[in-house]
Chain A
Amino acid sequence: MSVSPPKPLLQVQGVTLQYKTREHLVTATYRVSFDVHLADRFVLLGPSGCGKSTLLKAVGGYLNPVEGDIRLKGVDVTRPGPDRVMVFQEFDQLLPWKTVKQNVMFALEASGRLRGAVAADRAMAYIEKVNLTRFADRFPHTLSGGMKQRVAIARGMAMEPDILLMDEPFAALDALTRRKMQDELLQLWEETRFTVLFVTHSIPEGGTHRQPDPAALAAPRPGQGRAEQRRRGPR
């Protein structure tokens, strides 16, 4: 036990999020607060419609809170940036006109992190981590759903962002593949210890030994922070 707790990497303080539809002003979350520390696997768990995806988008910078603030390393988050990489649920997050390798390289080059051969090396290193080296020159439409999500994860990790934001990346997969992918992700985390904020509505995905440290956001419409729980599952 340390005497003074370290400064959190990501601070979400009293965040209220609203968005407009044609008829209504929807309050997605109401005064939600939590901290994410370095090397955390932080899970936002809650039923459908409790605003957890909206909250993740706000951390991504796609949406500004109407109240409260979101800080990454003490700096206010106001717009999307390569220091917070999102991994989405949808398969079309990969650019279909680029091969697996080019997709990963695109992220590195577009954000200005790396160029040319260095970018290619880094891309291949992370593609190897998700066991897709054989498929590096394939176009996304020739891959299975699980493989596409692995590419997206490789792309996110290759950026080596401060925090990786995952929005139910396995939700569209079949149960067997999902389980396998969860194990793989956990193993990757054990190896590299990246910080991840993981959104899910599935209690097994969020709460079992697979991913510890959930914070529950229950009470849908608007979502409010209900509980935070630290799990010490068998590792």
Chain B
Amino acid sequence: MTSPPPLRPEYVRDQVDEHDFGVVNKPLTAWERIYGNSLVRRAFILFVLAAAWQGYATHLDNSLVLPTFTETFRSFVSRIISGELLIKSWVSIKVLLMGYGIGLSLALVFTILAMASRLGNDLLETLTAMLNPLPAIALLPLALIWLGLGNPSIVFVLVHAVMWPIALNTHSGFLGVSGTMRMVGRNYGLSGVRYVSQILIPAAFPHILAGLKIGWAFAWRTLIAAELVFGTTSGSGGLGWFIYENKNLLDIPAVFSGLFTVIIIGLLVENLVFRIIERRTIRKWGMHS
């Protein structure tokens, strides 16, 4: 048998006025402050990786297989300064933006068709089900036959890489817009394009942004891969071509510099551009899940 709980005294407490609250301030230790900074932690990891690379490459002592980190870094810096890498990057990004833009517009057209009628809906769902699992790069041989050696083939492949994930996400975003929000839009007399642009697109924006991110990632990977297969039109190729060419010249530090650049651009867009868009939109609106 447990004894019953004790009888507690009743009380009423005086409330302290808000202005009389004391300030409680416990400073963080230096270690806590440094460890709490994610930039510092990541820089540390990068430093360890670079050190491991340098150590192993020095031990191997074969710059054809694995150049040292410092050698690669020097090659990278000199090619940035000479402008070669920047030009190559710009060539790649130009093609990419073209493919991305076309893919995005087509995705929007398909999604609006899908919203407008059941047949359009079935069309989009069938096409995405069929084509989304197909890696875009697998279409490159066909594109080369249809469109010839050159940028149009790469753009074709990019459009394919971008369109389906964006269409799929936008469509599921549109379908997920709550009934209440739809009714609100129609209540104030919105229909057609104004309804889509003022209600559906902002309401589905978290999904659309996710689609844009996936589309970007697919496009960037596909582009580099396509450029590795062939990538030069009128003598000026992109980053993939730069990597391929330097492999043939056995300039391995330059190959690594090319890979570096691919990583850096990918990181910049994924973590900077999209992060900023996200902060200015869905985070500000409290729509992130």
Contact = CB atoms under 8 A, between A and B. Distances in A.
Given A90-B180, A110-B194, A80 B287 contact: no
A150 B180 CA distance: 16
B25 interface: no
B184 to A, nearest CB: 5
A107 B286 contact: no
B25 to A, nearest CB: 27
A142 B189 contact: no
Given A110-B198, A141-B286, A97 B205 contact: yes
Given A110-B188, A110-B194, A112-B189, A88 B183 contact: yes
Given A95-B202, A139-B286, A80 B181 contact: no
A96 interface: yes
A62 B184 contact: no
A81 B203 contact: no
Contacts of A85: 187
Contacts of A112: 189
Top-4 shortest CB links A-B: A141-B286, A110-B188, A80-B186, A90-B180
A229 interface: no
A92 B180 CA distance: 7
B180 A111 contact: no
Nearest to A80: B186
Give the interface size bracket for B toward A. Answer: 20 to 34
Contacts of B286: 96, 139-142
A89 to B, nearest CB: 8
B42 interface: no
Interface residues of A, number: 27
B281 interface: yes
B8 to A, nearest CB: 27
30 contacts: A80-B187, A81-B189, A82-B188, A82-B189, A84-B187, A86-B184, A86-B187, A88-B180, A88-B184, A90-B178, A90-B180, A92-B178, A93-B181, A95-B184, A95-B203, A96-B286, A97-B202, A97-B203, A97-B281, A97-B287, A106-B198, A110-B185, A110-B189, A110-B194, A139-B284, A139-B285, A140-B286, A141-B285, A141-B286, A141-B287
A52 B189 CA distance: 24
Interface in A82-123: 82, 84-86, 88, 90, 92-93, 95-97, 106-107, 110-112
B190 interface: yes
B280 to A, nearest CB: 11
A105 to B, nearest CB: 11
A81 B185 CA distance: 10
Interface string B91-112: 0000000000000000000000
